Amino acid sequence: MSLIQSFLKVLVPLITSALVLAFWNRASLSSVPGTTTTVSEEHKPIIPSSGSWGTWFNSHQYTQPNTSQASGKDWNIFHHLGGNGPWVENIHEKAASRLEIPEGCSIDQVHLISRHGERYPTRSVGNRHLMFLRRIKDTGFALNGSLAFLQNWTYITDDPENDFGELTRTGPYAGTLSSFSKGVQFRTRYGHLIPNSIQTRLWASDSGHVIETARHFASGFFGLDWEVSYKAELQIIPETFERGADTLTPGNTCHKYLEDTIHGHDNGQEALARFQESYTPAIADRLMHEGNFGLKELSSMEVYAMQEMCGFEIMARGSSPWCQVFTEQDWQHFEYARDLIHYYRAGPCNPYSGAMGWLWLNATTGLLRDGPEAGSLFFSFVHDGDIAPFITALGVLGSEEHLPITRVVADRMWRTSSILPMGTRVTLERMSCSAANDQSYVRVNINDRIMPLPFCKSGPGVSCSLGHFMDYVHQRRAEVGHFAEVCGLQGDAGSISFLHQK
């Protein structure tokens, strides 16, 4: 037996059992009161204990924390991490309750744009955490009150050099596991669309953790032999500037977006910083009064960094003592801060974002028009900063709302926690419906909930007729502007050329 074969022999049962655990974990998560999931009593899954996950960690490295994240009974921290936490189902108030394929309809083509799986902090975010922890250590004081756990706590990785920016590989919410399991879920719903004789292409932008996500997904969807058996082929699309419009990562090719420090990419960071100033001082004050005056002060960035560590630790270890340090209100503020950064950086309040996101929308609309003749499976893997522009171009959350930077707007549409968690999956399903004279319809599924398009939802299962959808996309081009013009690119910026199966 070759080394690879014996390796697979060990790996497959491991992945399978891990998957089962993760699945039940999530099943229990989504049945938390306050979410929109409705599971009738008789169909309730039997939930085996998932508590044993804690015992898999080396106890010298890590003492199992209080896993009860909830402080109120309708409260689930996973839905308030603002994209900085494990994948969760969409509980947006505009999401439809059902995912079923309407009667008389069948899916004949599917498009996915996916965020990479759960990962460690990026280098800049992680270094901020380490700087804070070093400062505490250097004071030489033990911390008190709700920060006392730090006496025995270790950072989420002891190898930051190698781990920062990479998929997490441990615990029930590991990015490796969730990417594989997403492939299995897609196989379950779309397996009938796998072509018999031709190789299926899939696409990843050129970042290690994005590529790794796509590879785990492909293994779950096509099987571990997807490459050697020529079932599928992964194409890596460079994230470089000179690609112009022929890109999966338009935020790297839109010249003005990068250069305009007021309204471009940096706009999000600015909004975030201003909001941090408004909510963190009260938290700092509270933590200092718990007997921590030895710290001298806690800056806005430090308070925010502590909140970030809750989500990042969950992704690496399954739970985190940081989550209990903060109140529900503190988390609502953190969540709003995360909404602001995305909304202003690459969402509807950024003047470049719609034109950036329209590129993939346009290419995908061409494929929806051509139908299964053009291929049936189109899976692309990118970053959150590429999905926010797509959602903006699509206008599925409405296109305009004013999000103030000084106070939380409770009834806002833009909910990063529901629409951009790690592993986000936005799919467009093309359906052919015999009940409607074989007409074609399109539906948008964001994180396992159908999001009806505000402008077009009268088709079966709140879908939109294909003709209507195409007209709308055409009209959106006028509204969001032409990519090359908006971005200040000279000459022919091109268009997405790689998104095809034939």
Residues designated as active site: 116, 384
- Report if residue 68 touches ligand NAG, rule: CB under 6 A: yes
Segment contacting ligand NAG by CB under 6 A, of 125-133, 175-183, 234-242, 291-299: 291-299
As measured in angstroms, the least distance from the Cβ of 407 to ligand NAG is 27
Nearer to ligand NAG, 71 or 235 (CB): 71
Measured distance CA(258)–CA(254) in Å, rounded: 7
- Are the CB atoms for 326 and 279 separated by under 8 Å? no
DSSP states of 221-270: HH-TTTTTTTSEEEEEEP--GGGTTS-S-GGGT-HHHHH-TTTSTTHHHH
As measured in angstroms, the least distance from the Cβ of 370 to ligand NAG is 8
- Report if residue 141 touches ligand NAG, rule: CB under 6 A: yes
- Report if residue 154 touches ligand NAG, rule: CB under 6 A: no
Report the residue from 359, 391, 428, 466 that binds ligand NAG according to the rule CB under 6 A.
Answer: 359
| End-to-end Cα spacing for the chain | 37
- Report if residue 245 touches ligand NAG, rule: CB under 6 A: yes
- Report if residue 76 touches ligand NAG, rule: CB under 6 A: no
Nearer to ligand NAG, 145 or 398 (CB): 145
Segment contacting ligand NAG by CB under 6 A, of 180-188, 270-278, 288-296, 450-458: 288-296
The SS3 call for residue 443 is strand
- Of 66, 38, 40, nearest to 54 by C-alpha is 66
Total residues interacting with ligand NAG, rule: CB under 6 A: 23
Segment contacting ligand NAG by CB under 6 A, of 97-105, 147-155, 198-206, 467-475: 147-155
| Phi, psi angle pair for 494, to nearest 5° | 80, -160
Burial class (CB in 10 A: 0-12, 13-18, 19+), 51: exposed
Segment contacting ligand NAG by CB under 6 A, of 83-91, 97-105, 148-156, 391-399: 148-156
Nearer to ligand NAG, 87 or 326 (CB): 326
Report the residue from 55, 124, 152, 406 that binds ligand NAG according to the rule CB under 6 A.
Answer: 152
Strand partners, 379: 112, 202
Question: How many residues appear in the chain?
Answer: 502
Contact residues for 249 (Cβ-Cβ < 8 A; gap 6+) = 205, 237, 239, 382, 383, 385, 386
Measured distance CA(90)–CA(444) in Å, rounded: 12
- Report if residue 184 touches ligand NAG, rule: CB under 6 A: no
As measured in angstroms, the least distance from the Cβ of 397 to ligand NAG is 23
- Tell me which residues in 307-346 interact with ligand NAG (CB under 6 A): 324
As measured in angstroms, the least distance from the Cβ of 344 to ligand NAG is 25
- Are the CB atoms for 104 and 459 separated by under 8 Å? no
Report the residue from 31, 144, 185, 299 that binds ligand NAG according to the rule CB under 6 A.
Answer: 144
- Are the CB atoms for 173 and 51 separated by under 8 Å? no
- Of 130, 136, 132, 160, nearest to 148 by C-alpha is 136
Interface contacts to ligand NAG, rule CB under 6 A: 66, 68, 71, 141-144, 148-149, 151-152, 245, 291-295, 324, 359, 362-363, 366, 495
